[in-house]
Amino acid sequence: MPDLSGKVAIVTGCASGIGAATVRRLRADGAEVFGTDLDPDGGTALCAEVGARFAVQDVSDRALWPQIVARAVEAFGRLDILVNNAGMVSGAGIGDHDDAAMFAAWDKVLAVNLTGTMAGCRAAIAAMRANPGGAKGAIVNIASTTAIAPLPTDVGYSASKAAVRALSKSVATWCAQAGLAIRCNTVIPGATMTGILAAAEVQMPGLIAAVAKTSPLNRLADPSETAAAIAFLASDECPFMTGAEMLVDGAALSIHPGF
């Protein structure tokens, strides 16, 4: 297990799914964690359970990001890790709905998934540059296999997650060229057993089994499996790894769709 003792992390979207698993994993590896989410009950309960701090945050509120980072630094004295996990789906294909509904869904999902991620990177870099002992840190942005194999039923989600891949590489190379020991990498999860998927199964029985078949392993990922990849990228065990992408997809993107 990576040793994250002495490190301080912010994890967005911490109340459930991959975010909750990441908070648990980073705490188990020794990090202090400041979790954020729009769900005050879920976020408070999770952070109380593992000994983390919690704040309500809408990641699309750009003005709030410096305040969130400042609260984490005030609580723990520094910032070493940012996990941009918070995200949402739009549920709209390019020809769905009328113009007003379509563009409202598009604007919202890009504000959360893309602008929120960029604003988090910007605020985190400012804090990491001011760390005692010099600039150092690790940013892990969460994309999706839909960034590579887009969903026809969700143009906003697919486009936003594809943009997160490019954003991460731009952040990584900017930090490197600026001489900052701040890395930025992307985790690309495949189908994962989360509350969102469980709720969708109620409306569409058989969905989970169908989604599981997208992986040659014929199962969904447990959120803890993605959290393990995040913990590795957040650790000091991969100092030359920046601008990289780590697939946690059960080989879903490694096989021809006809097989």
Active site residues: 157
- What's the CA gap between 130 and 10, in Å, rounded? 16
- Which tokens in the block code for residue 18? 């991959």
102 within 8 A of 90, measured Cβ to Cβ: no
User: How far apart, in whole angstroms, are the C-alpha atoms of residue 69 and residue 91?
Assistant: 31
